[in-house]
Chain A
Amino acid sequence: MSDDVDFDVIVIGAGVAGSVCAHQLAKAGHEVVLIERGSEPGSKNLSGGVFYCRVLDEVFPDFVSSAPVERRITRNVLSFLNGDSHVNIDYWDERLAEPANAVTVLRARLDPWLAEQCEQAGAMVMPGVRVDGLLRDGERVVGVRAGEDELRAHVVVAADGVNSFLARDAGVRPKEPQRHLAVGVKSVIALPRPVIEDRFRVTGDEGVAYAVVGDCTQGVAGGGFLYTNRESVSVGVVLRLDDLGARGLSSSDVHDHFLAHPAIAPLIRGGELLEYGCHLTIEDGPAMAARDLTRPGLVLIGDAAGLTLNTGLTIRGMDLAAGSALAAARTVAAALSTGDCSGEALGAYRTELERSFVGADLRTYGRAPKFLENPRMYGDYGRLLADVFHGIYTHDLRPRRHLVGAALGAVKASGVGLGQLARDGWAAARAL
């Protein structure tokens, strides 16, 4: 291994992935620099905000009590939304509070805290610097270039997010097919704490997460979300790029349509807009992460590696970012200790990933993206559900039918067809 290095490891991107990885390697005694293009970690980052945080138990044992997190999610609402109706599945469970299963976060607050933990563990954090490319010695990645400056290291970890210019530079990622990506458009709306507690029926630091499908996106493949923070809500839409393009809609209009929807507007009424933002996210993580995620001297983690799972009910990127960061940190630490940072040594990263929940969940949800391409998910099924309940609850003095009769009638009227319904139901059970 050449001694001509500035650091053992260069980590690019102080998001969840980069910070967790830099923290682990610094804590193990390695010389680590964490480079971030934002003037402060988190200033470029935006997520919907539900962090399934158990993965951090082994990194920061008191994460939920000491990190700037918003609320523990104890209520999950799955909402099938139509223009003038909705059917909600409302799941509240005290067991989700302790140990905390998922917390809402705002990245401009969380990410600086994560970077601070890196600094305390001995990493050097370098904000305000954009990495422009990789330095190579033959096939091997030996460092990074930022403007006029060059930095060299035994290993480079690319944690530069969904657009990862470094993964493209390294030849890992081609131009991504549009159906692999979605744009999230989000507003953070301030509401006083008592209003949040009353409106969403939560107490203390507990919170609610709504996942919405159907009319929220005006039929574009994707969905809507609404998550409670301490004194604000995060609300917005996620729109698959191929379908957004095909349907001729404007992304900001779809966002505005959702916030103005009669089912959503009352939940944010009277609130003040704190921030309007957007970010890309990943629709087909299993396909993107199936690529070879290492090169000699280089490892990709988090969104840069394609590691987000959109199951329709949840978007999980932050926990996979942390999980892949841990897998990469173990791989890199082992490589540094043997002095072999070749492609083969770093190839152990795949094994580490497969062994962790990241690999297991990628396998489990491998079929989800294909299933979510089903257009009936974004229209017909919400209406069908509402029609079933409409049949049950309207009493227009015509003779009542049994539930099964009412449901079959609704299916017949919807034009979906029983066979189609059965096939989609079976596909849903297998994909999700």
Chain B
Amino acid sequence: MSAYGSVTDRLARNSYVLDEAECHIEVNQEIARSTGTGKLLVRVCPAQVYGEAPDGTISVNYAACLECGTCLAVAAPGALTWHYPRGGFGIAYREG
């Protein structure tokens, strides 16, 4: 939490075009758990797309994704499938 609100509050000010039909992120729960990638994703993602449930399952809120690719860069092989949203969907920066 900062003077500018939680990350979720801040993202609510951003402009997104949500792709209702297609999620662009998929976590392989088993590999994410065994390699520690799950916990790592929760920490490194600036948009807090990833969450960890008490049982260790990694949740994905793809609607918040800022499409930086950090998660893919740090994920262990096989733990994450990640590509850009379909053309025209996703974050639409107004400042950049």
Contact = CB atoms under 8 A, between A and B. Distances in A.
B86 to A, nearest CB: 6
Given A130-B87, A241-B70, A256-B2, A275 B46 contact: no
A255 B46 contact: yes
Contact of A129 (B45, B48, B74, B87): B87
A43 B95 CA distance: 8
Interface string A122-139: 000001111000000000
A176 B48 contact: no
Nearest to A258: B2
A58 to B, nearest CB: 25
Contact of B70 (A106, A146, A280): A280
A163 B73 CA distance: 9
A44 B92 CA distance: 6
Contacts of A44: 67, 90-93
A185 to B, nearest CB: 4
Contacts of A9: none
A107 interface: yes
Contact of A251 (B13, B70, B73): B70
A145 to B, nearest CB: 13
Nearest to B6: A252
Contact of A108 (B70, B74, B87, B93): B93
Given A276-B4, A276-B14, A278-B66, A38 B92 contact: yes
Interface in A176-195: 176, 178, 181, 183, 185, 187-189
A252 B46 contact: yes
A110 B96 CA distance: 9
Contacts of B87: 37, 39, 128-130, 146-147
Contacts of A392: none
Given A44-B67, A109-B95, 17 more contacts: A42-B93, A45-B93, A128-B88, A178-B74, A181-B70, A181-B73, A185-B46, A241-B73, A245-B40, A251-B43, A251-B70, A252-B7, A260-B3, A274-B95, A276-B10, A277-B66, A278-B46
Interface of A: 37-40, 42-47, 106-111, 127-130, 146-147, 162-163, 165, 175-176, 178, 181, 183, 185, 187-189, 232, 234, 241, 244-245, 248-252, 255-256, 259-260, 265, 273-280
Interface of B: 1-5, 7, 10-11, 13-14, 17, 40, 42-48, 66-70, 72-74, 77, 83-88, 90-96
Closest 8 CB pairs between A and B?
A107-B96, A128-B88, A108-B96, A278-B46, A130-B87, A256-B2, A276-B10, A163-B69
15 contacts: A129-B87, A130-B86, A147-B86, A175-B77, A181-B70, A187-B4, A232-B95, A245-B43, A248-B43, A251-B43, A260-B2, A273-B10, A274-B94, A276-B11, A277-B66
